[in-house]
Structure 1
């Protein structure tokens, strides 16, 4: 079984251990071995900027009545591991997880993983990834799960807001502009995120909470422009709820004094 790495040569395909390679197909359970408590990146999405890499941890628990002999987790994007188009193996010399004995039958296993823009990450693989995992007992029993956990790998987003004129008279029209951009892994830069719904919010100068004024959409280049009536001094911002490929983001509030 070979897992392709997008943006890399065929010779750069992910190398799996012989044990994993011989068992990497549909879920299998032999004996009483179990995998549980799979946690990726502390339960948060893996968010990566336009360039560089991200290193994060994956942990899980393996149980077997004879004790635990080994464990391994492989991260991948695709319908299943046999048809994956990108992925990552653990940053260990053998690609396996490091397991710490918690009891005679239980081990807590963990490893770090690194994903790199324009290597394991291109725009097409943003979104849902899966954890392929296997655990083996000292008696030879094992469990292998094709999707032990689903998690998100996302393109970092940025959002700006600027309200003008400043200052403004009460009752006059304010124009609020901004831009929603996100990491473009293919081009190693930030590009506009078009046709996305974004909320315009207002917070009174001496308040701690924002109120939504309206919802607007970004244009094809990710730009935002809308108007509102100045009712009092306060902060204006745009808020993006996020998508499966792109995390939520709030623009910094822009203070406008009403004279």
Structure 2
């Protein structure tokens, strides 16, 4: 999730009962006390779906959707209370889990362009992630990011180096120019932050 846009996601609870399922009450519990409730009716006798809307930045005076802080990023659990058509009910704590993560972005620049074969290319970039407390993107320090290369005419990127971000999220390394192709940074993500890939930057390597 970024810093301004609503993120809407469904939660579907599946089950069975002789009389069929009729209604579901779903609680999502996250890090640092995150606890939100919504409910919904069952579209079929075996599946019930409800929808949650979250955002990092609510407009003044707004109480819908649910807004989040950085401390809420991480693994969330799903508790479900399902009612049946014959008025029975089943409570299933921790029936599921999912990750709610801060969005990440990556940039890349490979230079010089063009470059002589065998010369050195400097590849720079920056890794930032959404700050749900300040509603801005900020550098993500101390993260390992893969530098990847895709030769011209190929569809496959290969990791050629691993580089740690600086205190401000910047990346920098040098590599030898061997052939024409695209350079990019690729961040796998963490338990609190989503993955990110930069668009490939093409470098023309000349004899």
Query: 1:56: how far off?
Result: 1.3
Equivalent pair of 2:7/2:54 in contact (CA under 8 Å): yes
Q: Which residue of 1 aligns with 2:81?
A: 134
Matches of 2:94 and 2:198, distance apart in 1? 36
Query: 1:135: how far off?
Result: 1.1
Matches of 1:136 and 1:162, distance apart in 2? 56
Q: Which residue of 1 aligns with 2:100?
A: 153
Equivalent pair of 2:75/2:97 in contact (CA under 8 Å): yes
Equivalent pair of 2:21/2:48 in contact (CA under 8 Å): no
Does residue 135 of structure 2 align to residue 188 of structure 1? yes
Q: TM-score, normalised by structure 1?
A: 0.72
Map 1:114-133 onto structure 2 (within 5 A): 114-118=53-57, 120-133=67-80
Q: Which residue of 1 aligns with 2:8?
A: 55
Q: What's the C-alpha RMSD, in Å, of the aligned pairs?
A: 1.6
Q: Which residue of 2 aligns with 1:8?
A: none
Equivalent pair of 2:25/2:82 in contact (CA under 8 Å): yes
Residue of structure 2 aligned with 1:86, choices 17, 25, 34: 34
Map 1:5-20 onto structure 2 (within 5 A): none
Matches of 2:43 and 2:159, distance apart in 1? 49
Q: Which residue of 2 aligns with 1:25?
A: none
Query: 1:67: how far off?
Result: 3.3
Matches of 1:168 and 1:203, distance apart in 2? 16
Matches of 1:241 and 1:165, distance apart in 2? 27
Residue of structure 2 aligned with 1:71, choices 4, 20, 24: 24
Uncovered stretches (5+) of structure 1, i.e. residues with no partner: 1-47, 79-83, 91-95
Matches of 1:69 and 1:158, distance apart in 2? 42
Once the two structures are overlaid, the 10-residue window that deviates more, 135-144 or 116-125, is 135-144
Which secondary structure does the structure 2 equivalent of 1:161 belong to?
strand
Q: From the two aligned structures, give the one with the greater helix fraction.
A: 1
Q: TM-score, normalised by structure 2?
A: 0.89
Q: Which residue of 1 aligns with 2:156?
A: 209
Query: 1:222: how far off?
Result: 0.7
